[in-house]
Chain A
Amino acid sequence: MPAVPSTTATAAAAAGAPGAATRYRLPQLSVARFTGRRCVRTGALWGLVFGLYVYDNAFAFDSIAPTAAQRNQLLGSMASNAGLKALLGDTHLITTRGGFTDWRAIGVTALIASIWGLLAATKALRGEEAAGRWELFLAGQTTARRAAANALAGLGAGVLAMYMLTALLTALVGARPNVAISVGASLFFALAVVAGAAVFAAVGALASELMPTRSRAAGVSAAVFGAAFMLRALGDATTSAHWLVYLSPLGWVEQLHPLTDAQPLWLLPLAGLVALCAVATVLLADRDLSASVLADKDSAAPRTALLGSPVLFALRLSWAAIASWLTATVVAALLYGSLAKSTGQAFASSGMLRKFSGNLTHVALRQLQLAGTRVFAGIVFLILMTLIMAYVASAMGRLREDEAEGYVDNLVVRSVSRQRWLAGRAGLILAVLLTAGAAGGIAFWVAAASQHAGLGFSELLQAGVNSAAPAVLLLGIGVLTFGFAPRLTSIMCWGILAWAFLLDMLGSAIKVNHWLMDTSLLYHPALAPAVSPDWRVAGIYLAIGCAAAVLGGWRFTQRDLQSG
């Protein structure tokens, strides 16, 4: 809370005499407090989501099969399924509640936490510096290195908030007699969940020192994350190259097994990597303001391509991010497509596995009397849906930032109407998400065809386009929020994504009230190619999305621009 000067001090100041100075505690920690305030909020939010997800998985164990024998059969099928291992990680003692919870929860939450870490770090360091706020900090009682250390401490506070919420909820669910996870195990489990956040926050911080802009720092961090994921997925999916897992921080997280036979020694390479990146960040921070280790050219010959219209200009500014998302989509589709045949055979041979995937894909059992390859592909396209929704949430966040930072003012005070600007940006996001869906479908087909998996080009292309439907609706809701409550745009989009994901995972394991499930954007679309795409649902999503976007766009033309 800011200190309030005393009346005497005010009177003295009014008379021109020096007043009694208000002294703030530890001014050299200002940057840590500033960064921490922002990171703790989002860290705690994700900690809450992770905790609920753990709750879901711990209880799901009992409900995945009617008898212990059937459950063991199902889980045994899962444990040998290369595709599922590539998706969620390797299994360890999966027939126990602890092993099942480890596998299902950490495999997913570690990825989300890692992405949070890299985005939070690049925003806190390079983003703040680019926005000019770093200059104010460095003019205070600090040095560049101290400020960087402060920012890392602030990020650490965010990771700590995430850890505490996850640990608390895990301990609460663990206290239930039928779950029986000890407090110690809960604390270690939460550490495994947030380890990815710490690692990739450190990677993001280091990338912020290396690269001259936030988008490039985020791009480099995302590339490291993508490589880590690929190493982990390939290592888990293939026995001959299992050693790849040990090259990836995500693989190290997987080795922790916090709820079965805990392997805390794997924390050492994780802590070492965090420490290494943190020390490098602090050391490299002693440089000129706005400079970077990998310096960009300050001068260049003019390139006027893609400067002719607002939408082309948006494409020019965001091509790197778009390329990253599309690459991630295509690479993931190629990877899982190459596993489609072997994984599909495992699905086809296990009735229990089909039932489980039926829950996940919301497909009735009788409809699942088909090749297991299609069931596996359906699950992959569910992941693709989530990935494309994440792109939309990220792009809508950037769109709002453009208004908040004042960039939009530069365009709409000229001959560019607000409608044209917003329609262009929303249209670009729509084009990218449709391209991502189609590219994902085609890439999956290419990889699956190379394995003679028996999946047709047309059905996979349709499945890819169908997987874009929830993202179209999310885009509409995002534009609606941007029109009416711009400051909530980013949190609304990410919140809807987290909610849908949480409910879908919950619904795949335990029975959830259908009214609640109805609120998930991932619940309604048919998961092609496990079943035929439901174009009626896609059409309804498109119609609602368009209506929401039109309403939001209209409101945007009517309201005050909220910049600065």
Chain B
Amino acid sequence: MTIARDTARLAVRTEKLTKHYGPVAALDDLDLELNAGEVLGYLGPNGAGKTTTIRLLLGLIKPTAGRAEIFGMDVAEHKVAVHARVAYVPGEATLWPSLTGAETLHLLARMHGETDVAYRDQLVKRFDFDTSRKVRAYSKGNRQKINLIAALASRADLLILDEPTAGLDPLMEQAFRESVLEAKTNGQTVFLSSHVLSEAEALCDRIAILRAGRLAEIGTLAQMRHLSAVTVEASFAGTPPGAVDRIAGVSAVQVAGHHLTCQVRGPIGELLTVLAAGHPETLLSREPSLEELFLSIYGEQEHVNDGARSA
């Protein structure tokens, strides 16, 4: 991946960012760019290196090799200046149990340096959050709301969100999506690490998929879909045409009675010609969901691993 020289438009840039814990490579040679105003979905299974990346971007841990920049500032050298432009929501909220929600929001705002109080009040209503209770009396979801409200109300230029909707109910997830879209409209940049693929699909301009500490894929959903197979389903009055599986790019052909399902990569013209010759009654083509893409990427890896094991 080439590193852009125009750093002014970049909110985040990493260069061969690497973190080893003894012999274990938690993150390996990560080259990543996130444009200002962009929403990036950062996906990967448990242990892929998502939280390690975030902790490196925040300067909480030091890279073994490589470097990270936020808004052109080296994270290792300008931590406080970087943090002034960043708001972070951790996956697991460790907050002071003896403070109330309101006190915690006040404290976090003071430590950040600035907050939009009116917007904070609006977020408190949107997330249906009772600020008078003490943190120890809150559920996990309500504790997460404190971090979310504090981060969003800061109006920071870059929001780094690590599994931000963990513990939130569907209504609150909707409120979260609304808030992220507002942030995007305001020109804020969002780095969203998530397991909720539908959330990433709905919110993100680009998706990065991490696998075993390495960047496996990055691009828009459309670009990634283009690289993946399209699912085609057709039903016929009679028997489906039999020559489908000989067409270049077609795979996973399944025939059940009058129905045919297959996947096709690349040009679809030849498949359509063959299907049209069979006089289909219905014809559906569907791009893969992010979940299918994700599983496909990991399925390939599993396949490679299985092959390596049997060899």
Contacts and interface: CB of A to CB of B under 8 A. Distances in A.
Contacts of A414: 83, 108, 111-113
Interface residues of A, number: 37
A483 to B, nearest CB: 14
A426 B134 CA distance: 28
B110 A308 contact: yes
A122 interface: no
Interface string A405-426: 1110111111111100000000
A409 B132 contact: no
A558 B59 CA distance: 10
Interface in B88-126: 88, 90, 92, 94-98, 100, 102-103, 106-108, 110-113
Contact of B103 (A302, A407, A411, A560): A302
Contact of B60 (A413, A415, A417): A413
A417 B79 contact: yes
Given A213-B98, A415-B112, A304 B103 contact: yes
A537 B284 CA distance: 87
A559 interface: yes
Interface in B118-170: 130-134, 136-137
Interface in B64-91: 79-80, 83-84, 86, 88, 90
Contacts of B136: 130, 212-213, 290, 298
Contacts of B216: none
Nearest to A305: B103
Contacts of A407: 94, 96
A394 to B, nearest CB: 19
Contacts of B102: 302
A317 interface: yes
Contact of B111 (A212, A310, A405): A310
Contacts, number: 90
Contacts of B103: 302-304, 307
A225 to B, nearest CB: 23
Contacts of B132: 299-302
Contacts of A130: 97, 136
A410 B95 contact: yes
A384 B79 CA distance: 41
Interface in A514-564: 558-561, 563
Nearest to A216: B98
A313 interface: yes
Contacts of B130: 299
Contacts of B83: 412-416
A452 to B, nearest CB: 46
B62 interface: yes
B60 A409 contact: yes
A32 B130 CA distance: 38
A406 B62 contact: no
Interface string A129-144: 0100000000000000
B58 interface: yes
A413 B94 contact: no
Nearest to B90: A409
B133 A299 contact: yes
Nearest to B103: A302
Contacts of B88: 413
Nearest to A317: B96
Give the interface residue-count category, chain B. 35 or more
Interface in A230-284: none
B61 interface: yes
Contacts of B79: 412, 417-418
A313 B109 CA distance: 13
Nearest to B156: A414
A329 to B, nearest CB: 25
A561 B100 contact: no
Given A559-B62, A560-B60, A411 B111 contact: yes
Given A406-B94, A560-B62, A298 B137 contact: yes
A409 B83 CA distance: 12
A409 B110 contact: no
Interface string A376-418: 0000000000000000000000000000011101111111111
A400 to B, nearest CB: 15
Nearest to A405: B94
Interface in B224-266: none
A297 B90 CA distance: 27
A416 B97 contact: no
Given A317-B98, A407-B94, A413-B58, A302 B80 contact: no
Interface in B165-192: none
B100 A302 contact: yes
Contacts of A563: 94
B153 to A, nearest CB: 13
Nearest to A561: B60
B194 to A, nearest CB: 19
A307 B107 contact: yes
Given A299-B133, A299-B134, A405-B94, A561 B113 contact: no
A405 B130 CA distance: 25
B71 to A, nearest CB: 15
Given A409-B60, A415-B80, A304 B106 contact: yes
Interface centre among B60, B111, B136 (most CB of A within 10 A): B111
Contacts of A300: 100, 132, 134
A409 B111 contact: no
Contacts of A413: 58, 60, 83, 86, 88
A313 B94 contact: no
A430 B239 CA distance: 87
Interface string B277-289: 0000000000000
A302 B131 contact: yes
A103 to B, nearest CB: 43
Given A213-B98, A317-B98, A417 B134 contact: no
A411 B88 CA distance: 11
B98 A302 contact: no
Nearest to A306: B107
Given A302-B100, A561-B60, A415 B107 contact: no
A309 B136 CA distance: 22
Interface in A290-333: 290, 296-304, 307-310, 313, 317
Contact of A213 (B55, B94, B97): B97
A317 B103 CA distance: 13
A415 B111 contact: yes
B84 A415 contact: yes
A560 B63 CA distance: 9
A307 B100 CA distance: 12
Contacts of B84: 415
A563 B98 CA distance: 20
Contacts of A412: 60, 79, 83
A552 to B, nearest CB: 17
Nearest to A130: B97
A410 B95 CA distance: 8
A560 B100 contact: no
Contacts of B95: 410
Contact of A302 (B60, B92, B96, B106): B106
A212 B110 CA distance: 27
A307 B96 contact: no
A410 B94 contact: yes
26 contacts: A130-B136, A212-B136, A290-B136, A298-B136, A299-B100, A299-B134, A307-B106, A309-B110, A313-B107, A317-B98, A409-B90, A410-B95, A411-B111, A412-B60, A413-B58, A413-B86, A414-B83, A414-B108, A414-B112, A414-B113, A415-B80, A415-B84, A416-B80, A416-B83, A560-B61, A561-B60
Given A213-B98, A302-B131, 5 more contacts: A299-B137, A307-B106, A307-B107, A415-B112, A418-B79
A-B pairs, top 7 by smallest CB distance, nearest first, are A406-B94, A302-B102, A560-B61, A298-B137, A414-B111, A415-B113, A414-B112
